[in-house]
Structure 1
């Protein structure tokens, strides 16, 4: 067990939980600033809430990559697999509970966020801790993380009109509140 990696992953978990939770309110606090809305949830859609997990995790990924730059770890690969898994677990908990009970429970929505973050960091810790090497796979993983960030921005501006992007409270889509 690498204590340096473990410590970074624990701090990353706390950072992502705290910043992600705050992000839920930042768009409103910014008086609906569209630049803020590119990175923070702009409505109550499932898609928008994934930003609360993704962007703080991405910031921590860059911090961790700098902290571990002298080590030979596949940080970006571990983080790509971690965040992808974390978002999928968040969605699974959310949709399975909604399917089981026929409705959404706020406590389950909140729990799915923290469960997803926890799994993202557990998975990335194990990959970082037990893999060595830097190279092409790490570069590709870095590029894929940036592509995911661009996809979040794109779908904030141009959401597909499917339930995943629908604000259940206002029955609208996206930053421009399209019906």
Structure 2
């Protein structure tokens, strides 16, 4: 009985993530877009906020706010998530990676496939669509992954993100 109640509460936490997170993450990401400049180009702020107009830097406005939001929700719902920690953070990792790359994909799709202008009024809906899709993907993983699979997902994503970062770092040095 207690495990059934915990499962119902867990699903409520997932509903919060799925429906509330795109709006909250969009607000945080939008603020982060200007944070580096407003901080007087503080190097510490540049670790999570875009420091230039490159696409790579703009992945930060989706990636870090997503991780922040999922972590904050974890601490709010921590008592009922104690049996699903790996699944929860696997969902967070999937949501963060999908949101970052989803922003790039939706932007290129809108501009290149539909010929829309590369303007802010196109970027904002693209950002929101990418966030909605990514949060749904993360919630799906958090809901259905068992703890062993969730650990494997976390490790795989960590390796993949590390490889992508190394490749982009090497390309940046070579350029």
Aligned to 1:33: 42
When residues 106 and 138 of structure 1 are mapped into structure 2, their CA distance, relative to the original with a 3 A threshold, is: same
Distance 2:166 2:158 in 1: 13
- What root-mean-square deviation, in Å, do the aligned CA atoms of Structure 1 and Structure 2 show? 3.2
Q: Compute the displacement of 1:142 (Å).
A: 6.2
Q: Compute the displacement of 1:126 (Å).
A: 2.2
Matched, 1:110 2:153: no
Q: Which runs of 5+ in 1 are unaligned?
A: 162-173
State the SS of the aligned residue for 2:147: coil
Higher helix share: 2
Aligned to 2:5: none
Q: Is the 8 A contact 2:17 2:135 kept in 1?
A: no
Pairing of 1:89-168 with structure 2 (within 5 A): 89-100=102-113, 101=115, 104-129=118-143, 131-135=144-148, 137-138=150-151, 141=154, 144-145=157-158, 148=161, 158=169, 160-161=171-172
Q: Compute the displacement of 1:132 (Å).
A: 4.9
When residues 97 and 116 of structure 1 are mapped into structure 2, their CA distance, relative to the original with a 3 A threshold, is: same
Q: Compute the displacement of 1:115 (Å).
A: 1.2
Q: Compute the displacement of 1:147 (Å).
A: 7.5
Candidates 82, 89, 92, aligned match of 1:76: 89
Candidates 53, 56, 66, aligned match of 1:47: 56
Aligned length: 160
Superposed CA deviations along residues 124-175 of structure 1, whole A, max 9, x for unmatched, are 122223x1532463265168459848966996xx5735xxxxxxxxxxxx9x
Matched, 1:86 2:95: no
- Normalised TM-score (structure 2): 0.73
When residues 41 and 159 of structure 1 are mapped into structure 2, their CA distance, relative to the original with a 3 A threshold, is: farther
Distance 1:56 1:82 in 2: 11
Distance 1:23 1:54 in 2: 11
Q: Which runs of 5+ in 2 are unaligned?
A: 1-7
Q: Compute the displacement of 1:6 (Å).
A: 0.6
